[in-house]
Structure 1
Amino acid sequence: MISTRPRSLGDADVLQERLAMRRAVRTIAPLTEWVDLLIARRESAGLGAEIPAIDPADAGISARVLLLMEAPGPMTNARNARPGSGFISSDNDDPTAESLWIARRAAGLIDNALLWNVVPWYLGPASKKPTVQDLREGAQPVRELIAMLPELHTVVTLGLFARRGWARFGRPEIGIGVRTIDTWHPSAQSMIQPGKRDHLISALTRANRDWRHDGAEDHEILVDRDRAGNAVAHWYVNADGDRVEVHPRWW
């Protein structure tokens, strides 16, 4: 559960409590170990390995909704000149996290979600955007994470880069029935533009509803193919205009 107030990880006592939870919370401990392994893999390959921990206040392996941002912001990085929390979290002490916190509260998406990045390692200042190679490399950890979330039914992409990375590299041949909801990045610059905050709240509200109770039989099944003509996805558009992948067993 996210905190009862935004930016709570700016409080040293709250941060210490959250740090102590990383290996103590049953739903988080396996993901903490996985992030440690991911860091070790990156370091052994001589690659950037500043990867924030998964927030123990989120749903962990019980998550039904995965919120995908683009890349860790400065306040996730505990090694910055102004130290961040070390977590990817809606409770971080920055405007983007605060906007996401407000939207999650408004949508009622408090207990069932997990926050992650389509590029999970720190790239630098917020102005540095992911390259195509970053998105390609980040897709493998995203897919590994999804394999650890047996209750997952929805991926929400927050912003253009998250949308591109998920659609091009993460989602094809994902092998599960999952809904994709695309919405805006919760940055301060985005949220002051007319309609974008409402769009974000609406997207998170839809994400909180389990679409698997809906019937797929009334929808036209569409097929994505690779350059060789092989099918890489079967999907349909639901009544809300969101994309739903058809599970391979349904083909």
Structure 2
Amino acid sequence: MAESAEGGLVFHPMDQFIVKPLFGEAGDPVGMLTLTNHTFWLALAVLSVVLLFVVGTRGRAIVPSRTQSVAELFYGFVYKMVEDVTGKDAIRYFPYIFTLFLFIFFANFLALIPMSYSPTSMIAVTAVLGFGVFFAVTILGFVKNGASFLGLFWVSSAPLALRPILAVIEVISYFVRPVSHSIRLAGNIMAGHAVLKVFAGFAAIGAVAPLAIFGIVGIFALEVLVAAIQAYVFTILTCVYLKDALHPHH
């Protein structure tokens, strides 16, 4: 929102990402057990998944209802992704990947509701997801392959003289994975919401209000795409990392 300050305009697009107590004043301290806007929208994303896949599909039938059809569409889409990218031997890890996709997808779309809060714009949330994937696939890689998992970093097809240099580059890029995995999601969601807030501030100015509203509609449409694409990107990268853990020599 725009404010008058010494004859100018002041925007605070980042204020929407402040964690505040859900009950009480905005300046009240936030403790470990404080119910905040952040925890509320996190819980709402989880509840949405439960309502769709547990409550909505409780009366499963050969001729599916609309809710069951939506749930089956999500299921089939992610199942095919895991199978195509990672292989049939990775299907046993499908529940974990499916849960990641659903949580990010619903959190992203719920954040598009006016006056809502975006949990996936917080690096604390996306870092937990990203590093969770990193540690899971790394441990799985060593459990499944033992020391031969280190072959992932040895580019045997390269000239022998270049292999040590490439190995160092591969190790660095491997440990950068969780950082890029988490920052990509948080950065895209945060940037889109900040731009929306800026356009909303300009919409309060009569002279440019029509253009600002047109911009809001365009950015919002783009954010709908970003919400879905970022859930897809996070999930497919998880599949790629899982494939490396299962088949380090491929």
- State the TM-score, normalizing by the size of structure 1: 0.25
Higher RCO (C-alpha 8 Å, min separation 6): 2
Give the structure with higher Rg (CA): 2
- Structure whose residues are more often helix by fraction: 2
- State the TM-score, normalizing by the size of structure 2: 0.25
- Structure whose residues are more often strand by fraction: 1
